[in-house]
Chains A and B, each alone.
Chain A
Amino acid sequence: MSELIIKNGYVFDPISGLKGDKADISVKDGKIVDKVSNKAEVIDAAGKTVMAGGVDIHCHVAGPKVNLGREMRPEDKFFRGEYRGGILKQGKRMEMGFSIPSTWKTGYAYARMGYTFTNEAAMPPLLAPHVHEEFRDTPILDQAAMPVFGNNWFCFEYIKNKELENNAAYIAWLLNATKGIGIKVVNPGGTEAWAWGENCTTINDPVPYFDITPAEIVKGLIEANEYLGLPHSVHIHGNNLGNPGNYKDTIDTLKLAEGTKAKNKFGREQVLHNTHLQFHSYKGTSWADFESGAKEVMDYVNSNKNITVDIGQVTLDETTTMTADGPFEYHLNQLNHIKWANVDVELETGSGIVPYIYDKNIKVCGIQWAIGLEIGLYAKDLMRVHITTDHPNAGPFTRYPRVIKWLMSQKAREATLDTMKWKDKVIAASNIASMDRELGLYDIAMMTRAGPAKALGLSSIYSLTKGADANIAIYNLDANKLPSDPELIEAAFQNTAYTLKEGVVVVKDGQIVAEPPKYTLWTKVNMPENAQVMHDIKEKFSRNYTVNLENYAVFDEHVHNARAIELDVA
C-alpha cells in the first residue's frame, strides 16, 4: 500500500468546490482518499498551486491523419522550440517534432504541463487499430478517441428512415468495435459530399445521393446519444468551418440542440459540444471585411446551458492543420498552395492535411487570435468553455500555457497585439483591445480540467474528489501572490513542479522521472443485440467494405490497457 500526502498547497478543484483554499490532498494506492497514515510520503506544496491533472477534451494526437502529417512534414522536426539544437532525453525515448510531435513527445510534453488525459478528436472507424497502436506508444497519458459518425452511411440511412433504436444500436456496436468513447461529428454530410468534390456549407444543404441534410444528421445523432445515455454528448465540428460569415451557420447548428435535455448517469449536462468555436465565429463576407463574431456566438452559448464549447485558440505559430473536414482542407490549400494531403475513407469519413503559418503580420491571423481569446473572455460559465488549440490546427498543445497567460493577463494580450503589423486593423475587427477581464486560477481550473471532465462524463475519475484517480498537477504559482510578469505564469504552466499519475510522481521540476501504466478509456454499452442492425452490418461489409467484418473490430490484444466506462440500455 502506497500512501502520499500533498501538504499546504492552494487547491483548485471546481468539482469538489475547492477554490484555492489551503488544503492537503491524500493519496492511497493511486486514488484520492480522505486521509492517510502518518507514514505517508509527503510532498510539500506550500506556496504552490494544486489542481487535478489536466483534461484535454479535443486534440489530434494519434492516428492516421496525425501520422500522415508527421510523415509528410520532415521540416516540422526542425522546430524544436526551446529544445532547438537537440532535445535532452528525459524519458525512455527521444522526443521529436513541434506541431505534430512523436507519440513519445506527446506523452511527455502533456505530463510536463500537468495534463494526464487526452481525447483524440477524430478516429476513422476503419483505421481504429492505428489509433490504438499509437496509444500504446504514447507514455503516461490516459487516452480516449471519438469515432466519427457525421458522414457514416449506416447513420445516414437509419436517421433518414427515422430508426432511432437501430441508429443507437449501430453506434453502440461501433463504439465497441473501435473502442471509442463517444460520438464525433465533422462537417456533417459535407465530407461525404467531398468524395465527389462537393461540400455542404449550411445545415440545410442536401447530401448528394443520400437524401438527408446536415441538420437531420446532427439531430438524429443527438437523439441517439441521449437515448443511449453516453458519458459524453455529441461533439461537433459543424458545417462551413473557417469561412467569413459562418457565425450564422454555427448558431444554426447550436440551435439544433434546443429543447433537448441531457440524459445520463455521468453528471454531464450538455447535449452538444461545439469544438474549436474560434473557427466557427467569423463575421464578414470575405477575407477583406473579415471580423469577429465571437460576441454573437457567445451570447447564444451563454444563454443555453445544454451547450459546451472549446476555444481552438490560434497561437501564432507555424503548424499543421488536419481535420476530417476534407473539403475545408482542400479550400485552405487553394489559399496557401503549400502541400496538401487528403484521405477519403470508405463509407465513413475523409480527412485533409495542410501546413499553415499563422503569421502575426497577417491581418486575418491576428483577428483569428483575437476571436479565440474573446470567446474565453465573454464566457459567463467557464465550466462550459474549455481551453484548446484544436491541436495542431490552431497551434500545438504545447502552447496551452501561453493561451492561459493571454486569458489571465491583459498586459500579455497587449504585448502580443503590439507585435502585430496590422494591430489597428485587428483591433478594429474585434473587441479584444477593450476587454479588461483577467481570468484567475479557479477559472483556469474550470477551463482545463473540471469543465472538460464534466462534459466528458469523467469527473469521477479526473478530479480531486474522493475515489478519483490521483492524477495531480502542482504548479510553481503562489495563488496569493501571482507574478506581475505574465511570462512567469506561462513558464509555471509549461513545466510543473510535480505531476502525479495515479499517485506516482511522473514529473518533478519539469523533468520526466517515471512512466507508469496508462489507460485507454472507452464506452461499453450493454444492450441486447439488434438483429436488424447486425444484418445491415453484414450486408454492407460483404458488398462495400474492402476489409472483412471479422477483421474490422479492433482485436482485444491491440487495445492497450483498456478501461471501459459501462452503461446499460434495456
Chain B
Amino acid sequence: MPKVIENVGCPYCGCSCDDVRVTVSDDGKDILEVENVCAIGTEIFKHGCSKDRIKLPRMRQPDGSMKDISYEEAIDWTARHLLKAKKPLMYGFGSTNCEGQAAAARVMEIAGGMLDNCATICHGPSFLAIFDNGYPTCTLGEVKNRADVIVYWGSNPAHAHPRHMSRYSIFPRGFFTGKGQKKRTVIVIDPRFTDTANVADYHLQIKQGHDYELFNAFRMVIQGHGNDLPDEVAGVKKEQILEVAEIMKNARFGTVFFGMGLTHSDGRNHNIDIAISLTRDLNKVSKWTIMAMRGHYNITGPGVVWSWTFGFPYCLDLTKQNHAHMNPGETSSVDMAMRDEVDMFINIGTDAGAHFPIPAVKHLKKHPWVTIDPSINMASEISDLHIPVCICGVDVGGIVYRMDNVPIQFRKVIEPPEGVMDDETLLNKIADRMEELKAKGEA
C-alpha cells in the first residue's frame, strides 16, 4: 500500500512551503506522487528516488577517471587535507539543513579555515546594509493577515518564488485581509515587464541601475519635499512617484520585498541601505516592513546558525581558531579565489563550478577540491573527491529557515540509498577524524 505523507517541506526556493503531500511506495523507497508543489519543487523529489543516485564517494585517479572509495577513506582524506591546508575554504550551503551547517562550523573551526555561504554571491549586499541600518521586518503571516500594500522591488516571484504571491502576499485571505487581492495594492518596480509586473496595480518601469535615485525620490516625498522633485527620476514620471508615495503613506500595513535586482545592480548594498531607510521613514506615518527574497529554501540558515556560533553570518575567517573575523571583500569566497589565496576548497550543497567566475574556478582547481553534494554537477566533475550525501527534505529531515527567518521543520519522506550519509553525520565524522589526527600528533 502506498503511503501518503503530508506537511512535507519543499527543498527548493526561499518560500520553504511546508504543505507538500508526497505519496511513497510500500517499501518507502520510491516517490509516486507529489502534490501542492510547483514544477521546480517536483523535480527535486523525483531526483531523490532516481536510480542513478551516487551511493559512494568517488576519488579522482591519476588518469583522470573517478573511482569509488569508502566513506571512511573519503573522511580520512578530507580531514588530512584540511589539516594540511593553510587557508582551506568551505563554501555553499544552499541546500543543507541547519544541523549540517552547525557541523560545518565545527569542522572549519578545527581546521582553522574560511567558511562562507551562497549569500556571498546573492544577498551579501543585504547583510552589509543590515549591519549599517538594521532590518525592520516581519514574518510572512503578518503580510498575509495585515498587508494592504505590497511592493516587489527588483524581484520577480512569478519565476523565482512561484508560490510567494499565492501563499503569503497578494492573493491569500488573512485575518484583516478577508478580501484577498481585491483590497490589496500591488506595486512592482522593475526595468522589465515581468510576469509579476503583469499582476501589479502599478508597474514603475525604472531605468536599469537607477534604483537608488528612485528610493531617494520616495524618501523626499515621504519627508514632505515632493514638490522639489524633477519631472522625472530614474525614468519614472514625477506624477507617478507622487501617486505611489501617497499609496505607501496611506497603507495600513505595507511590505517591501526586494530581490537580486537590487543587490546585483549599481548601488548594491547602498540600494538595500536606502530601502531600509525608506521603510524607517514610512514607519513615521504608517506601518511598514521589509524583507529580502532569499533564493534557496535554507540559504537563510547558515547566516542564522553562524551568527549564534560566531557572531557573523558569512565570510568567516576562522584561521585564528580562537576568534572569528569577517571582512567581506577580504574574506569573501570569490575575492579570495580570484586572488588565489585558498589552498583547499570544499564545495557543499551548491555548484561553485557553475556560479563562480572562471578565473576563480581556475585558481581553486589548482588545489585539492572536494564536492559534498547528492548529485553530479559541474563542481563534482572537476573535483578530486566527490562525497554524496542525503537530500535534505527528501531522505533526511532537519530545520531550515524560511526567507523570513521562521524555522521550518522538514521531514524525511523516503529512505536514503543504502549507506549514504547526511551532511551532519559526514561533517561530524570529518571533525572527529581531525581531532583524532591532532591528538595523535599526525597533523
The answer to whether B167 touches A70 (Cβ under 8 A) is no
Q: Which 8 A-B pairs have the closest CB atoms?
A: A346-B141, A339-B134, A197-B287, A344-B138, A129-B407, A342-B136, A550-B7, A89-B322
Q: Which of B132, B139, B141, B308 contacts A103 (CB 8 A)?
A: B308
Q: Mark B233-264, 1 if CB is under 8 A from A, else 0.
A: 00000000000000000001100000000000
- In addition to A102-B311, A103-B309, 16 A-B residue pairs with Cβ atoms within 8 Å of each other are A68-B405, A71-B304, A71-B307, A71-B312, A72-B135, A93-B109, A94-B322, A96-B323, A197-B286, A339-B131, A339-B134, A341-B135, A342-B137, A546-B406, A547-B406, A550-B6
- Minimum CB–CB distance for B314 against chain A, Å: 10
Q: Tell me the complex Cα distance, A64–B6, Å.
A: 27
B310 at the interface (CB under 8 A from A): yes
Interface hit among B71-79, B168-176, B192-200: B168-176
**30 A–B pairs (Cβ distance < 8 Å), ordered by A:** A62-B308, A70-B308, A71-B312, A74-B311, A77-B311, A94-B310, A94-B321, A94-B324, A100-B311, A101-B311, A102-B311, A129-B407, A129-B409, A130-B405, A133-B305, A196-B252, A197-B287, A339-B130, A339-B131, A346-B140, A346-B141, A346-B144, A347-B141, A544-B141, A545-B141, A546-B406, A547-B406, A551-B18, A551-B409, A555-B409
- Minimum CB–CB distance for A481 against chain B, Å: 37
Residues of A within 8 A of B127 (CB): 71
The answer to whether A102 touches B139 (Cβ under 8 A) is no
The answer to whether A88 touches B307 (Cβ under 8 A) is no
Q: Which of A64, A330, A346, A548 contacts B19 (CB 8 A)?
A: A548
Residues 352 to 390 of chain A near chain B (Cβ within 8 Å): 353-354
The answer to whether B139 touches A544 (Cβ under 8 A) is no
Q: Tell me the complex Cα distance, A127–B300, Å.
A: 14
Q: Tell me the complex Cα distance, A353–B135, Å.
A: 9
Residues of A within 8 A of B141 (CB): 126, 345-347, 544-547
Q: Given A72-B131, A126-B139, A195-B287, A547–B309 Cβ distance below 8 Å?
A: no
Residues of A within 8 A of B323 (CB): 80, 86-87, 94-96
Q: Mark A65-80, 1 if CB is under 8 A from B, else 0.
A: 0111011111011001
Q: Tell me the complex Cα distance, A354–B6, Å.
A: 40
A104 at the interface (CB under 8 A from B): yes
The answer to whether B19 touches A71 (Cβ under 8 A) is no
B283 at the interface (CB under 8 A from A): yes
A515 at the interface (CB under 8 A from B): no
Which residues of A does B touch, CB under 8 Å?
Answer: 62, 64, 66-68, 70-74, 76-77, 80, 86-89, 93-97, 100-104, 126-127, 129-130, 133-134, 137, 153, 194-197, 209, 330, 333, 339-347, 350, 353-354, 543-548, 550-551, 554-555, 557-558
Q: Tell me the complex Cα distance, A554–B132, Å.
A: 34
Residues of B within 8 A of A340 (CB): 134, 136, 280
Q: Which residue of B lies closest to A194 (CB)?
A: B287
B326 at the interface (CB under 8 A from A): yes
Q: Which residue of B lies closest to A344 (CB)?
A: B138
Q: Tell me the complex Cα distance, A494–B249, Å.
A: 51
Chain B residues within 8 Å of chain A by Cβ, number: 63
Q: Given A544-B175, A546-B141, A67–B287 Cβ distance below 8 Å?
A: no
Tell which of B102, B313, B322, B407 has the most Cβ of chain A within 10 Å: B407
B275 at the interface (CB under 8 A from A): no
Residues of A within 8 A of B68 (CB): none
Q: Which of A127, A195, A330 contacts B406 (CB 8 A)?
A: A127
Residues of B within 8 A of A555 (CB): 397, 409
Q: Mark B279-311, 1 if CB is under 8 A from A, else 0.
A: 010010011010000000000000111011111
Q: Which of A80, A544, A551 contacts B144 (CB 8 A)?
A: A544
Residues of A within 8 A of B287 (CB): 194-197
Q: Tell me the complex Cα distance, A62–B167, Å.
A: 29
Residues of A within 8 A of B397 (CB): 555, 557
Q: Given A74-B311, A93-B109, A344-B138, A547–B405 Cβ distance below 8 Å?
A: no
Tell which of B132, B289, B308, B406 has the most Cβ of chain A within 10 Å: B308
The answer to whether B98 touches A133 (Cβ under 8 A) is yes
Q: Tell me the complex Cα distance, A129–B7, Å.
A: 16
The answer to whether A67 touches B307 (Cβ under 8 A) is yes
Q: Tell me the complex Cα distance, A8–B375, Å.
A: 64
B213 at the interface (CB under 8 A from A): no
Q: Given A89-B321, A196-B252, A339–B133 Cβ distance below 8 Å?
A: yes
B9 at the interface (CB under 8 A from A): yes
Q: Which residue of A lies closest to B146 (CB)?
A: A195
The answer to whether B18 touches A547 (Cβ under 8 A) is yes
The answer to whether A195 touches B253 (Cβ under 8 A) is yes
Residues of B within 8 A of A88 (CB): 322
Q: Which residue of A lies closest to B328 (CB)?
A: A74
Residues of A within 8 A of B134 (CB): 72, 333, 339-342, 353-354
Q: Mark B173-194, 1 if CB is under 8 A from A, else 0.
A: 0111000000000000000000
Residues of A within 8 A of B322 (CB): 86-89, 94
Q: Which residue of B lies closest to A103 (CB)?
A: B308
B339 at the interface (CB under 8 A from A): no
Q: Tell me the complex Cα distance, A127–B406, Å.
A: 6
Q: Which of B19, B283, B324 contacts A96 (CB 8 A)?
A: B324
Residues of B within 8 A of A344 (CB): 137-139, 142, 289
The answer to whether B307 touches A70 (Cβ under 8 A) is yes
Q: Tell me the complex Cα distance, A50–B162, Å.
A: 61
Q: Which of A96, A102, A330, A341 contacts B137 (CB 8 A)?
A: A341
B399 at the interface (CB under 8 A from A): yes
B408 at the interface (CB under 8 A from A): yes
Q: Tell me the complex Cα distance, A89–B318, Å.
A: 13
B320 at the interface (CB under 8 A from A): yes
Residues of B within 8 A of A96 (CB): 310-311, 323-324
Q: Tell me the complex Cα distance, A93–B307, Å.
A: 14
The answer to whether B7 touches A548 (Cβ under 8 A) is yes
B145 at the interface (CB under 8 A from A): yes
Tell which of A137, A347, A548 has the most Cβ of chain B within 10 Å: A548
Q: Which of B145, B174, B312, B320 contacts A74 (CB 8 A)?
A: B312
Residues of A within 8 A of B142 (CB): 195, 344-346
The answer to whether B146 touches A102 (Cβ under 8 A) is no
- Minimum CB–CB distance for A351 against chain B, Å: 10
The answer to whether A341 touches B310 (Cβ under 8 A) is no
Q: Which residue of B lies closest to A546 (CB)?
A: B141
Residues 109 to 155 of chain B near chain A (Cβ within 8 Å): 109, 127, 130-142, 144-146
- Minimum CB–CB distance for A552 against chain B, Å: 9
Residues of A within 8 A of B318 (CB): 94
Q: Tell me the complex Cα distance, A555–B408, Å.
A: 11
Q: Tell me the complex Cα distance, A341–B289, Å.
A: 10
Q: Which residue of A lies closest to B399 (CB)?
A: A129
